[in-house]
Structure 1
Amino acid sequence: MRRNLSIIITILMVGMLGVIVTGLTFGDPGEHPMDRYFIENSQIESGANNVVAAVLFDYRGFDTLGEAAVLFTAALGVSLVLRKRRDD
């Protein structure tokens, strides 16, 4: 009984995922005015030769710092949970 329930739930989840994926639509990204702005001004404003690096570290620096803090906290939590304890 339990195995049949697991199989049914798995089939339903795969079906729902299939419906969601087939319903996704991806439009033509085209060219946004911000694209031109970053390409033309990133080297002048940030001094970086790479536009991606300029966007990540200069324009979105606090966001990148926040993402790094979340990753560090997650790694710290996992290491604390999985560490071996010494028996005193």
Structure 2
Amino acid sequence: MARCSVPPKLAIFLIIAVTLILLLPAFGLSFGHPAASGTDQYYLDHSQEQTGSNNVVTAIVFDFRGFDTLGEATVLFIAVLGVAMLFRRTH
């Protein structure tokens, strides 16, 4: 098995640099102050009559955003399948 020839100081520098680059956009977000949106009030007012569900969260996840939920479930399934393939036993 080949060994990595990157010096430890360079590796630490690269890890810190990549971490900072990935975290910088998070500092521009405004947490705790959501933008005003009429969509949330629409969901609260019309979810029961349009979906027949007494639970607003269920109505949003499965009826209003069904395709989005299906996509998320597909990505999760593929990730689990990939991990299972990595850890399978071969003889």
**Residue 80 (structure 1) aligned to one of 63, 68, 85:** 85
Q: How many positions carry a matched residue from both structures? A: 85
TM-score, length basis structure 2: 0.72
1:6 aligns with 2:11: yes
Structure 2 gap segments, 5+ residues each: 1-5
Paired position in structure 1 for 2:50: 45
| Displacement after TM superposition at 1:8 (Å) | 2.5
Partner letter of residue 15 of structure 2? Answer: T
Q: Which structure shows the higher helix fraction?
A: 1
Cα distance in 2 for partners of 1:56, 1:18 equals 29
Measured in 2, the distance between the counterparts of 1:34 and 1:73 equals 31
- Listed one character per residue, the Cα deviations across residues 60-79 of structure 1 (whole Å, up to 9, x for unaligned) are 11111121112112211221
Distance of 2:70 and 2:19 partners within structure 1: 36
What RMSD, in angstroms, separates the aligned Cα atoms of the two structures? 2.4
